[in-house]
Amino acid sequence: MFLRWWMSSRHRATASDTEPERERRMKKFKRMLAGLACVLAVCLCTPTAFAAKVIIYFDANGGTCTSAAERTNDEGKLGSLPGASMEGYTFDGWYTTGTDDVTGFPIDVQVKANDTAFGADTTVYAHWSANGGSAEVVEEKEVDPDTLLTTMGLAAGSVVLVLLASLAL
């Protein structure tokens, strides 16, 4: 003997229900299931974190590198960094320009694989150190200090700072 069947904990259909009543309850139950299915689909398809992958561009600063651009992982980090080379120079690493928190002046920040996180597409730059080098004296000339100061528009007693640099070409 059939006693009853369950549609939900609140809506019980029994053998004594009329046909239109059972139909109404069944339609209501199906609508509820469809709604739950939609909610479940939205929950499963919506990512919990919106950490988007971004593109990092590599500027070799006169050298060459093995990759022009790389895409980050879901955390915004690069798993590895491409190598770079330039004749006469040692590659120091990849850097991005930042701002010093105290002074507000621009500073270069080194990019490290699996450590530096990026939130937007960014260009990083290769840093180089010259491999030694020598300077060649092109012309030697004696100069009278007073004549030099007058030519430069400086008065006697002025302090002059002379910086010398060597470039390997």
pLDDT by 10s per residue, the chain, length 169: 555 555 555 555 555 667 778 788 788 878 877 766 655 555 555 444 445 789 999 999 899 999 999 999 988 999 999 999 999 999 999 998 766 667 777 778 899 999 988 889 999 999 988 887 665 666 777 766 666 556 666 666 676 666 655 555 5
Calpha distance 9→88 (Å, rounded): 80
Q: List CB contacts of 41: < 8 A, sequence separation 6 or more.
A: none
Contact yes or no for 5/13 (Cβ under 8 A): yes
What pLDDT is attached to residue 46? 47
What pLDDT is attached to residue 105? 74
pTM to 2 decimal places: 0.48
What pLDDT is attached to residue 153? 64
What pLDDT is attached to residue 51? 53
Contact yes or no for 7/26 (Cβ under 8 A): yes
The kind and range of the H/E element at 41 are helix 19-45
